[in-house]
Structure 1
Amino acid sequence: MEKNTRIYVAGHRGLAGSAIWNHLQEEGYDNLIGASSSEVDLRDRPAVFDFLRSSRPEVVIDAAAKVGGIHANDTYPAAFLSDNLQIQVNIMDAANDIDVDRLLFLGSSCIYPKFAAQPIKESSLLSGELEPTNDAYAIAKIAGIMQVQASRKQYGRHWISAMPTNLYGPGDNFHPENSHVLPALLRRIHQAKVDEAPEVVIWGSGTPLREFLYVGDLAEASLFLLDNYDSPETINVGFGKDLSIHDLARIVADIVGYQGVLKQDPTKPDGTPRKLLDVSRINDLGWHARTGLVEGISATYTWYLENITSVRTR
């Protein structure tokens, strides 16, 4: 892409979108297009069409989504299915309407079967049953992959889709119940330190294994893929290593400086027992994640402390 390419970043205020926006600016791209949800409700089809027809982007990065952790996904499945289907269908249909030739759709590693062979290859898609606590969100993202492939086939577009693993970093949602596991742990353990609480309760058994990718690395991968990847098959974006939720909580406690007890609550759901992506395809293309977990969590905690009165908690 040329530095003056008109690039629309859908969801540019969110965790992934804001990191992508900042990275593009740092790389010298000076013709970025963005709109907050108050300016354009991406569930409003006529509004999305009007916005893309007036802004005329040449490249679209779809980082917009309704997202949440295991509690939110399990509690509000209809909203996660409906909102995400509407958002991505509206964006892609409007992009086809104005003949956008290059589009990147960001999905989620939850698209893969609950008991997929580990590490999970892209070919595992649709090979088994999904994790029931977030199957509605997963189905929406799978539909997004299908729409990318359908648009390539029907219109000859050079659209691609990428499936990031669990993301974290500055700009995350720190809601105590509806956020993802890492920001939820960070907030809860920080508050326990402030309150001098003797223990922190961690959801689940603590044994599930998870992989985490710093959002700045995803931003670099997104630009890398737009420059180097053109295939109908989705591609994984991950760190390549995982750890247990209990070990993650211990790392967070060490970074926060909390000395109390970390107590597991096995009555809460665990979700998928393991979810580690096979990142050999993107690694073979020349991209590798650069930010280690301790480094990334430390940077996220610093950002959290600096923005504690204004962080997202919904």
Structure 2
Amino acid sequence: MKRMILWGALVLVSAAGGAWVALGLTARPARSHPFFQDLPRDRALVIAHRGGAELWPENTLDAFRGALAIGADILEMDVHGTAEGVPVVIHDETVDRTTSGTGRVRSFTLKELQELDAAHQWENLRDTGITVPTLRQVFEEIPREIPLVVEIKESNPALTDAVADLVLEFRREATTLLGSFHQDVLRQLRNRDVRFATHLVQEEVIPFLAASLLFSEGLYSPPGEALLVPPRSGIIPLATRRFVRAARNRNLFFAVWTVNDPDQMRRLLARGVQGIITDRPDLAVSAVTDAAP
């Protein structure tokens, strides 16, 4: 009996070892996507969250123009669909917080939505003609060489296809990083066109984090090209030197959201993060400039 147990244990160990070796032989780092190739490499990047939500009415053309004017490297934005399915740039599923209206974005036609004041919460900008832009309007206004992060907020195949269609129509597949909190959205994008760059969703980050803690990130093949994570998730710190190093080892771009405190920015930059996603791109530009070699 003892001999049988010993042999069984040896078989299990051998099988586990074989699987470990097989993973190591087949695992591949993230591919080098054009989105990252022309970005500055001698410093971290400033990613204007919703265009800089603490400086201007968020997710508006005014915010995107302002962020670029003060030196942001990348514009981040969110997309929902109107009643007709038109991709529009707004974060919440309702218009209540950021406009003069109330109700779900999906309940408005495009015409009705753009009659709302997207600067209603800003007294100095109220009734100055600032509207919720369509993603098409953003693509038309912002030069193609400016990198964008476009977050699809709905798990909606039709909306995902509409966003993908616009990226291809405007030939922005090399300068647009597509993201979502919904794994099915990312799967749809990756299956549709290999030219799309995507970030990892939570279900993909967790196994990679576990592998990094075991110094085994070399066994993980990233399905996307970027890690965009908060500084911590509950009690678990994410923006650690170990996780940043693991991401670099797998050719993953590592950025942290949403960081608005200059001291925290400096701590993260010292750990080697490659991007700061912030509502205060003005403060981030200063922090990155000070930290640059």
Q: State the structure with more CA Rg.
A: 2
| TM-score interval (norm. to shorter) | 0.3 to 0.5
Instruction: Calculate the TM-score normalised by the size of structure 1.
Output: 0.31
Instruction: Calculate the TM-score normalised by the size of structure 2.
Output: 0.33
Structure with larger RCO (C-alpha < 8 A, sep 6+) = 2
